[in-house]
Structure 1
Amino acid sequence: MERLRHDTEKRADALSYFYSERKNDMRDIRESRAISVFFQNRALGMSMKYGLEASLLGILEELERVQRDRALGKDPIYTRIVFLDDQGTVLVDTRPSPEADSAGAWQRFLAPGSSDALILSEIKDDARQVLISAPYFFKGKYSGQIVAEVSTQAVQTHLIKAVGGYSKRAVSVITGECSRPPTAVPDPDFVTARLSDLKSLQDADSPAFDEFSREELHEEFVINCVEVKNTPFYLVNISPVSELFGTAAPWQLLLAMGALSILVLGGTAVAWHINGRNLVLQTGLKEAARNRLELEGKNFQLEREIAERKKVEDALRESEEKYRLVVENANEAIFITQDGVIKFPNPKTLSLTGFTTDELTSANLAELLHSEDRQTVLQEHANTLESNSTSRYAFRAFRKNGEELWLEANSVPSTWEERPAILNFIRDITLQKKLQAQLFHAHKMEAIGTLAGGIAHDFNNLLQVIQGYAEMLLFGKEQDDPFQKELEEIFFAAKRGGELTRQLLTFSRRIESKPRPIHLNRQIVETRKLLERTIPKMITIELNLATDLRPVNADPAQFEQVLMNLAVNARDAMPEGGVLTIETRNVVLDELFCMGQVGVSPGEYVMLSVSDNGHGIDAGTLEHIFEPFYSTKGVGRGTGLGLAMVYGIVQSHAGCILCFSEAGKGTRFDIYLPPTNAAVRPEEKRSPQELRGGTETVLLIEDEASIRNICKQMLEQFGYRVMIAVDGDSGLRAFREHWKDMDVVLLDLIMPGMGGKECLKELLKVNPDVPVIIASGYSPDGQTIQMLENGARGFVHKPYEIRELLRVIQGVMAAPKGMEDE
């Protein structure tokens, strides 16, 4: 019976330790980072699609790891682990079951009032189910429950089921106290009974009954019942009386022992002495056996504890290694800030800032920030700590070499060495900010160009009247006329006004462009001859031209303007003399370069570079140099349109222009143009046409009365008959009535009502062969070119001279259709 007692107590201790470790498992899960990350993301307002699903996958991996690693022998301890929210909804389940996960099925396990893991037991599907349940609190608020189902089969097999030499012994776990019926065994820890009478065990669904047949249930058994500490269970050890005391019943044994005692009463004193010593010896042996069993139990507990601790340490080491790899290989800068000092910077932080770890951790954070953003960053950090919430903001900082960086920060409240700190995730957005600035500049330039183009159009209409009348008056004056000089001044002033509006149109990319394949080097050599006559001798012109330079598709006249304007700017930057360098070469622009330039695609380009070693341009001025009318030369020393015109010409040729300058260190303009594979053809020389009039009939369709009048007078002075119309509708009516008498039509492009484009279409329907000349204050753009392609024969740009108008009229009249002078 003593061995029965020790066996029961040893198993109860093992069970107590086993369930204590299961509670530790729940605590470990509760402290896992995966669960805290989920609740942090949910607090930030992340949706299931963007963030929460990934967090739940992290929790599932953690639960599956625990379920996989915890085992008794080869049998897993847990059959299922479930993570519930505070409403009892299943968030994560290692063994999903739609039937078991119905609405409200798990709410009974919620325990917001408990602070530690609980051991629960219930009957489910005629079988006992044991569960370990632990509450989860996020920032002090009950947020969910972790419920794990323990494999009763593994517990029964490895910790409860009897082993040894007893053939009819069973051990079982029950909930509630054991009943204690009358007993014939003189020991308070044991009872004797027939199993068929132990209703409490049967009601408890004890698996002990499975060990015995129906007949054996009516035998007498000795039952030892011990409480399993810190659990709701009792351990029941059941052994047949026959195996403990032989086949005789206990009362028969007592009679036999009484008779035997009478027989030995006459024994000698020596026998009493021997028996006494034997009794002492037996007691000592029992005590030694008890101590040995206790030692074995403690050794068993210690071995299991060491094994469990080793698993925890291995898991912790593995987790730390994973997080270390993530942080060290992250594409974002990650570091801790505490008390205004950077701590634990990852490699990306070092490469981004250019500092070493020692330099960063010994520097004050504020010293690395841009002065305009310093207060913003420090205030964001203070708000993050005070509100215990995540903040996101952008700011500027400096690399070790002084380069300015734009950074985006995501700051999370944390702890470092048991004190409040901030965990920072930093992304470099310098390129993004640069592209935004370039896009804004491009939109601004486009808006200014639209405005400039509109102004130029209206100015050209006014200048047409001034120039036309001045020219008409000059035709009738002799050289000694007292007003000859004044008229010439009016005429040339109008011409200069026309040049000014032409520059505006060039900037707004509404200038007439005639691109063709050219050798840029040849253009530079020709322009150099002109530059040597216009810039001071104390400025040296150096050419570094690539011998294998590819041709480009460009307008020669416009690129002569580009070179002249850049050279003039270089001249003004070197009043004391210097070196003007013009360089060309073939280049390949990669994706990294093009990422920083709006509208530029990777590939092959021809580069034209114009540089000087003059006084340079400061950063503030550099932002505005391509804007029209922006000039630093002072009143009367420039229009501010030179670089604006250069910008417009380069843009119209599908290129890009960049300016690099620093005050006191000179300036360099780099122009990139796409090359062409077309052959370069020599330029055709045109002989000047003789100025003469005609007798043909011209239909003049023009909405501006002053222009109608001067144009009519000029044409009539040279013999033409002119019929006028004030708009497109009246012009079309007149043409339909007299189309057989109309030899040529001079059509304004921009008119109220029916515009020039629609009017041209209707005129050609009446007479497809009629020569139509387009007149506009704009230079040919997409709309005008389309009209020329759709049947118009020629184009004159306002303000035009009478000589130019006559030349165009004579050209369209003399040339067959499709062969007009362009």
Structure 2
Amino acid sequence: MSTFTDSARSFIYSRAPRDVTEGFHKDQEKLLIERVNVILLLGWTLVPLFGLIDYILYPMHFNRFLAYRLISAGCCFLLYLANRKWRSGSINLYLGIIAAYIVGFTIIKMILETEGLSTPYYAGLNLVFLGMCAVLTVRVQFLAVHSIILYLIYLASVLIFGRTGSVAISIANNTFIICTMGIVLVASHVGYRLRCKEYLVRRELEETQSRLKGYSENLENLVAESERKYQVLVDNADESIFVIQDSVIKFPNPRTIKLFGYSAKEMENMPFISLVHDNDKIMVAEQKERAKRERTISISTFRIVRRSGETVWVDMNAVSIEWGERPAFLIFLRDVTEEKMMEAELIQAQKMEAIGTLAGGIAHDFNNLLMGVIGYTSLMLLNKSEADRHYEKLKNIERLVQSGADLTKQLLGFARGGKYEVKPTDLNELIGKSSEMFGRTKQEITIHRKYEKYLHAANVDRGQIEQVLLNLYVNAWQAMPGGGDLYLETNNVTLDAAYARLHSLMPGPYVKISVTDTGRGMDQATQQRIFEPFFTTKEMGRGTGLGLASVYGIIKNHGGIINVESEPGKGSTFSICLPASQGQVEAKKIQPVEIIRSTETILLVDDHEMILAVGKEMLKALGYEVFAAQSGEEALAIYREKGDGIDVVILDMIMPVVSGGETYDRLRAADPGVKVILSSGYGIDGQAAEIMARGCSGFIQKPFSIGELSGKIREVLGRPIKG
């Protein structure tokens, strides 16, 4: 389409090849002659008839004006006879132009003899411009030149020889004339462009039809000459090729047989429409009828159903041909299922990215709210013994806050992966422990494990992947309400460049985890939406719809991929591929959280008043001296004044005007040895990871308890407790 548009534009502005221009002029010559005939016919018929206007408006000039009109009409009649005799485009064009000048001069003469600039006869010039520009099939530049010349002759004549009359009327008359000229010139230009485009379309269509006809004839000749050549050409083609005649398939090549899954004998005389997916049959039938009617190539994309019941997307090119002296279609089919999958994955990725950004923002804001709750709860618990009647209630609040924090971790896992501690991990061991724990609570499920003996380690955050596995276990359990089998399998796999490129991955070694259930399965529509946030097949109140969305986000942010295969009634298989690691798996160390008090000085920076207030109280409860700042600028001012006495800065990452990252950089510039703990409702990835890479001392994610805060401060200070 772009090539045609460029050709049309070049053609219109005289940059087309000479043969195209000459062809167009020759094509338009007959039309030009006919239209000049129209102009001349109008000239020698309408010019005298308009004498009735003279009789009504200017009866005193009627006889003289009638003479002018008859002379003008006679000239037009003679030109009409000449136009019918001569058949040369340029001569015929100038006959029409001469007629326009003759009629125009006649009208100008009558204008001069009536009221000059105020005469109503100016409308006659409008008719001349309309007739010349709207009827003649030539470039607008040519018509514009002659229109302007005629108008200037009129204007000069009335200004020099005409009566002055009313200035307002003369301005109005000239405005109407100029507007009429402009409108008819634009209309003429549009008409000329349309004729150019129509000519190019016809030319290209003729060339295409010529090529198709030649191809069809050559193909028929080759078949007639040698059956062996036909076998080599068609049987080894990578596309499915066959003929449809009388609505049935004939002469299918081996690729067609392989594509549909039927034998050659079964396919002979099989109605083609019976192989088309039910939802696409009407569209395919319409395409077939159009190709038959227009005898052009018909291109369409639709689904076919193989003998096995599998649905396959194909591109079809249908060419209307004569086969055995009867109409038929030569069909080319190409399997584009993989391309459709890539397109669907791209759309899914874009959708998930957009919703992920929203989910991450919600999680961040919610973590800030939870920070206030857990902070004040920690402070209250600090002064309560287990025997206190409110102790258990406060612990319940703490547990509920932790549940809320777990929910936001799922949101962050979906949005940005939420990878807190990425290191080489033994996935066999992780799957074993997580499935053992799950199996103890769901004894109606029989778990089958099949592990790769020498499985590669994978660079993952253990907590996040454990969350992924538990989500998949729960999903499988919910798909088997009456109990069933859960199959867990691990393998070392290598993704080649083609597959990796298809899924936007890096080629190389991967660890594959397969989780298979024997549950009710899913249809295609559910599979397409299964990883969307807040999409759930559970009844109202039984699920948030964040589980599999979180799984998708975590795996994607680990540089991996997750796929699902399922059929209704046949269970589901979730397959995960994670990049293999060359690192060694380290034993996990568990350190108990204890509250450590000290007396250092801390600068707390956060733009939320509530978080600033609760943080200040938590730090004071731990024995620290606290300076509080509600913005980056305020923090920098305090540090410039009291920096020598400040031991640690706890800095919020997301702040207006001066962000946490910029504040950190300016603190480092003022004091390269400053110790900063970065605090955020987001995980330690993205912007936080960049700040940590620039030398930040530590990171703590909101919401955090007083114990976690005290431990992080001592970890960063790395020196004996004061006081």
TM-score normalised to structure 1 length:
0.58
In the alignment, is residue 717 of structure 1 matched against residue 621 of structure 2?
yes
Q: Secondary structure at the match of 1:675?
A: strand
The CA deviation string for residues 172-214 of structure 1, in whole angstroms up to 9 with x for no partner, is xxxxxxxxxxxxxxxxxxxxxxxxxxxxxxxxxxxxxxxxxxx
Distance 1:808 1:140 in 2: 76
Of 666, 689, 692, which aligns to 1:785? 689
Tell me how far 1:401 sits from its aligned partner.
1.8
Please tell me whether the aligned partners of residues 439 and 445 of structure 2 are also in contact (alpha carbons under 8 angstroms). no
Check 1:439–1:85 CA distance in 2 against 1; reply closer, same or farther (3 A cut).
Answer: closer
Check 1:141–1:586 CA distance in 2 against 1; reply closer, same or farther (3 A cut).
Answer: closer
Residue of structure 1 equivalent to 2:520: 615
Please tell me whether the aligned partners of residues 86 and 142 of structure 1 are also in contact (alpha carbons under 8 angstroms). no
- Name structure 2 gaps, 5 residues minimum: 8-18, 25-201, 211-219
Check 1:574–1:510 CA distance in 2 against 1; reply closer, same or farther (3 A cut).
Answer: closer
Please tell me whether the aligned partners of residues 487 and 517 of structure 2 are also in contact (alpha carbons under 8 angstroms). yes
Alignment of 1:760-779 (within 5 A): 760-779=664-683
The CA deviation string for residues 7-33 of structure 1, in whole angstroms up to 9 with x for no partner, is xxxxxxxxxxxxxxxxxxxxxxxxxxx
Q: Secondary structure at the match of 2:279?
A: coil
Alignment of 1:745-756 (within 5 A): 745-756=649-660
Residue of structure 1 equivalent to 2:599: 695
In the alignment, is residue 585 of structure 1 matched against residue 495 of structure 2?
no
Tell me how far 1:353 sits from its aligned partner.
1.7
Alignment of 1:521-560 (within 5 A): 521-536=428-443, 538-560=444-466
Q: Secondary structure at the match of 2:588?
A: coil
Distance 2:679 2:719 in 1: 19
* Amino acid in the other structure paired with 2:290: N
Please tell me whether the aligned partners of residues 746 and 774 of structure 1 are also in contact (alpha carbons under 8 angstroms). yes
Residue of structure 2 equivalent to 1:472: 379
Deviates more, 1:406-415 or 1:631-640: 631-640
In the alignment, is residue 514 of structure 1 matched against residue 418 of structure 2?
no
Alignment of 1:1-20 (within 5 A): none
Check 1:391–1:532 CA distance in 2 against 1; reply closer, same or farther (3 A cut).
Answer: closer
Deviates more, 1:583-592 or 1:557-566: 583-592
The CA deviation string for residues 24-77 of structure 1, in whole angstroms up to 9 with x for no partner, is xxxxxxxxxxxxxxxxxx9x96999xxxxxxxxxxxxxxxxxxxxxxxxxxxxx
Distance 1:716 1:400 in 2: 75
Distance 2:605 2:418 in 1: 23
Alignment of 1:385-400 (within 5 A): 385-400=292-307
The CA deviation string for residues 697-739 of structure 1, in whole angstroms up to 9 with x for no partner, is 2111111111111111221222222212221122112211221
Q: Secondary structure at the match of 2:584?
A: coil
Distance 1:544 1:505 in 2: 31
Please tell me whether the aligned partners of residues 510 and 778 of structure 1 are also in contact (alpha carbons under 8 angstroms). no
Tell me how far 1:376 sits from its aligned partner.
0.8
User: Cα RMSD (Å) of the superposition?
Assistant: 3.4
Higher relative contact order (CA 8 A, sep 6+): 2
Identity rate of aligned residues, in percent?
A: 42
Check 1:735–1:422 CA distance in 2 against 1; reply closer, same or farther (3 A cut).
Answer: same
Q: Secondary structure at the match of 2:470?
A: helix
Please tell me whether the aligned partners of residues 439 and 598 of structure 1 are also in contact (alpha carbons under 8 angstroms). no
Distance 2:331 2:599 in 1: 85
Residue of structure 2 equivalent to 1:340: 247
Residue of structure 2 equivalent to 1:491: 398
* Amino acid in the other structure paired with 2:610: S
Please tell me whether the aligned partners of residues 521 and 566 of structure 2 are also in contact (alpha carbons under 8 angstroms). yes
In the alignment, is residue 452 of structure 1 matched against residue 359 of structure 2?
yes
* Amino acid in the other structure paired with 1:787: I
* Amino acid in the other structure paired with 2:535: Y
Number of positions where the alignment pairs a residue of Structure 1 with one of Structure 2: 521
Check 1:480–1:428 CA distance in 2 against 1; reply closer, same or farther (3 A cut).
Answer: same
In the alignment, is residue 632 of structure 1 matched against residue 537 of structure 2?
yes
Distance 2:4 2:563 in 1: 44
Please tell me whether the aligned partners of residues 597 and 710 of structure 2 are also in contact (alpha carbons under 8 angstroms). yes
Distance 1:139 1:453 in 2: 54
Check 1:347–1:456 CA distance in 2 against 1; reply closer, same or farther (3 A cut).
Answer: same
* Amino acid in the other structure paired with 2:662: E
Please tell me whether the aligned partners of residues 764 and 791 of structure 1 are also in contact (alpha carbons under 8 angstroms). no
Residue of structure 1 equivalent to 2:129: none
Please tell me whether the aligned partners of residues 413 and 464 of structure 2 are also in contact (alpha carbons under 8 angstroms). no
Residue of structure 2 equivalent to 1:372: 279
Of 251, 269, 280, which aligns to 1:362? 269
Q: Secondary structure at the match of 1:615?
A: coil
In the alignment, is residue 436 of structure 1 matched against residue 340 of structure 2?
no
Please tell me whether the aligned partners of residues 510 and 780 of structure 1 are also in contact (alpha carbons under 8 angstroms). no
* Amino acid in the other structure paired with 1:522: E
* Amino acid in the other structure paired with 1:406: W
Q: Secondary structure at the match of 1:407?
A: strand
Distance 1:724 1:513 in 2: 27
Residue of structure 1 equivalent to 2:61: none
Of 714, 719, 736, which aligns to 2:640? 736
TM-score normalised to structure 2 length:
0.66
In the alignment, is residue 658 of structure 1 matched against residue 658 of structure 2?
no
* Amino acid in the other structure paired with 2:321: S
Distance 1:689 1:430 in 2: 54
Deviates more, 1:449-458 or 1:542-551: 542-551
Tell me how far 1:639 sits from its aligned partner.
2.7
Of 273, 297, 316, which aligns to 1:409? 316
Residue of structure 2 equivalent to 1:813: 717
Residue of structure 2 equivalent to 1:759: 663
Tell me how far 1:483 sits from its aligned partner.
5.0
Q: Which has the higher strand share?
A: 1
Residue of structure 2 equivalent to 1:669: 574
Q: Which has the larger radius of gyration?
A: 1
Alignment of 1:302-321 (within 5 A): none
Distance 2:222 2:384 in 1: 106
